[in-house]
Chains A and B, each alone.
Chain A
């Protein structure tokens, strides 16, 4: 039926087409996919030539350069880049615009953990209609699996956050402590550091949902099982147990600085040797350069400590965003053109030059990228460590379709382990219960 439409008509009714495509996927009509794609990739090219005004909601600063390059390549397109807030603020605005049915942007930046929530609410267009499934292999496994939901592709990965251990080398050298390669060694290093300097901590942590889920991911845990509206939440698997056991020791022995990330104290602590390490995503260097000028030359990057000594290296993603197209956009084809330019084609290099960490395998493997020397890290070629980490992210992880809410109540439940006698294991169970309760209220079929 779609094939009988004229190209122009298809452009104008792309929102309808998106809805139809959704319906087809739901019916399991995989056979229709191939012819549909060719029509639509032409449609994208036609839309780019025809032009129009494209509204993009994103807080990522590196997109400014991308928009300029895009407008230069396709002179008929006018990109209106709007910063509608960071993270949750933007999601609230987006959700409101979608419910109101007006003021919906054509492209929106959405973090991986929040994407399933929007995909499920039918708020986003399935990019499968434009042949996005063909991009399999273009992106590293972690980000690529993060944009798949409900049997479709709901965004193109923009950046990624393969994790690494950032550490204050000067501090480790001063006390003669070896850089940990396993989490057990991390614990030992924490003890040794505290003994050498009671004011120094191996890391800061006041309970962070994103960090906790990432480490469970690294440990091979799969606490979330999502299949349409059937959702499983279970923090009693091995991965979660490994994390809870090690972290409980770190908490009990006061080895973690009770300083929240991104606070004033945190920035100071990273600079003055109070906080010795940071286990976080590859997007961190830019923040260190701008926020912790004192640390220049002192800090280095190492692979994320492992759960098993001598086993296959495992890593995880922490943070990162995709660009998605709201289903209500009337210019989905044109918007997809922008997504592809920004996240697959020329835009990727523009963003790398702006300090972003890409999600495309090709760029991660490129010599120029791998050999970039970081002045902040004393000339270390840190991208090699990040790129290696990106390869070692276990597949099959998924976030809840209501992860935004689940993360917001992490500190009400699991976070209690950091300030009271509650055990982390029980805290995670409490988090599970609260998530299950919310999911059930929202109409999901939730299993524990």
Chain B
């Protein structure tokens, strides 16, 4: 458009060379598209299309009586005033605030311990701590759900063996902490691996220099190791933030064991799932998903900006 517009006023004869140029230019740009095309096609199909479709869904409303109607931003207004949605968001925010720091701290300590070179049987520990991550979340949750049983599970056995009366881990007060325990168990190994691989690429010369300067292990950790792996810590934090907001598998499976303490709106994802699969409210469910996506992006971005600043 910008190339041809100056030619509009020119006489017809003068247009020929310009047309040739523009044709050549377009051929050049097409060649580029051939390279980027396959990627763009897949990207559009698996990434952009679902998002576009969700946005499309979110501006309609489908009723059992009355069918589908365009409602503009009504669904968004409803979500903003939906106490169930906000209680779900509040619950995962609490989860995020408590579980993520605990998990990352333990993972960091384990990674530093492995990296210290003072651990006997290092590769055994590394593998056994990483192993839970290799267990599918569904299987892990079923296994923990069984252990949490107060009658025939592990908790029940402990109660019996020691004459205790431990409260049920799936009771209203403890269920969130119990889920946090499962998630921590699952993901310590994964985060440990991120930290550990970042630690292994620190040049040995830095440690030698520190040793010559007379720095102890703790000083090495504080002055060399932690600053060097800050990028990895930020990445792990972002993953964990996203993971917390997307909490679904664990509560969804434990719900069959404890239906009254895990509601259908326990986490935002579980809420979106219940809305669409038992309530057939696909449109509102899409709205909830989009709002959650935006909130997750905002918080992940905030973590990144904060984490990448020079001074901690």
Contact = CB atoms under 8 A, between A and B. Distances in A.
A95 B274 CA distance: 15
B66 interface: yes
Interface stretch (A31-39, A300-308, A345-353, A400-408): A400-408
Contacts of A49: none
B279 interface: yes
A366 interface: no
A7 to B, nearest CB: 34
B153 A265 contact: yes
A405 B146 contact: no
The winner among B64, B171, B264 for most chain A CB atoms within 10 A is: B64
Q: How large is the interface on A (under 10, 10 to 19, 20 to 34, 35 or more residues)?
A: 35 or more
Interface string A72-90: 0000000000000000100
B279 to A, nearest CB: 5
Interface in B265-299: 265, 274, 277-281
Given A92-B277, A409-B264, A412-B265, A442 B259 contact: no
Nearest to A439: B64
Contacts of A411: 259-260, 263-264
A295 to B, nearest CB: 16
A310 interface: no
B169 interface: no
Contacts of A207: 259-260
Given A95-B280, A229-B65, A206 B259 contact: yes
A257 to B, nearest CB: 8
Contact of A408 (B64, B168, B278): B278
B172 interface: yes
B152 A265 contact: yes
B20 to A, nearest CB: 50
A262 B256 CA distance: 9
B258 interface: yes
A274 B278 contact: no
A326 interface: no
Most buried by B among A207, A229, A405, A444: A405
Contacts of A419: 171-172, 260-261
A408 B152 contact: no
A327 to B, nearest CB: 15
A290 interface: no
B243 interface: no
Interface string A365-406: 000000000000000000000000000000000000110110
B27 interface: no
Nearest to B259: A411
A438 B277 contact: no
B242 interface: no
Contact of A412 (B257, B263, B277): B263
Contacts of A257: 151
Given A260-B258, A411-B263, A405 B151 contact: no
Nearest to B168: A258
B307 interface: no
B151 A269 contact: yes
Contacts of B153: 265
B63 interface: yes
B63 A274 contact: no
Given A412-B265, A415-B260, A264 B152 contact: yes
Contacts of A262: 256
A92 to B, nearest CB: 5
B172 A438 contact: no
A229 B265 CA distance: 27
B149 interface: yes
A441 interface: yes
A259 interface: yes
B168 to A, nearest CB: 8
B279 A263 contact: no
Contacts of A415: 259-260
A416 interface: yes
Interface string A338-356: 0000000000000000000
B64 A443 contact: yes
A260 B66 CA distance: 38
A26 to B, nearest CB: 14
A260 B264 contact: no
A443 B66 contact: yes
Contacts of B171: 419
Nearest to A404: B278
Contact of A206 (B151, B152, B260): B260
A121 B152 contact: no
Contact of B152 (A268, A401, A418): A268
Contacts of B260: 206-207, 411, 415-416, 418-419
Nearest to A89: B277
A264 B132 CA distance: 23
A419 B174 CA distance: 12
A259 B260 CA distance: 11
Contacts of B172: 419-420
Interface string A256-293: 01111011110011000010000000000000000000
Contacts of A206: 258-260
A265 B151 contact: yes
B278 A443 contact: no
A207 B278 CA distance: 18
A416 B172 CA distance: 10
4 shortest interchain CB distances as A-B pairs? A443-B65, A408-B278, A443-B63, A415-B260
Given A419-B260, A443-B66, 7 more contacts: A265-B149, A274-B151, A405-B280, A408-B278, A411-B263, A412-B265, A442-B63
7 contacts: A120-B64, A260-B259, A268-B152, A411-B260, A411-B263, A438-B279, A443-B63
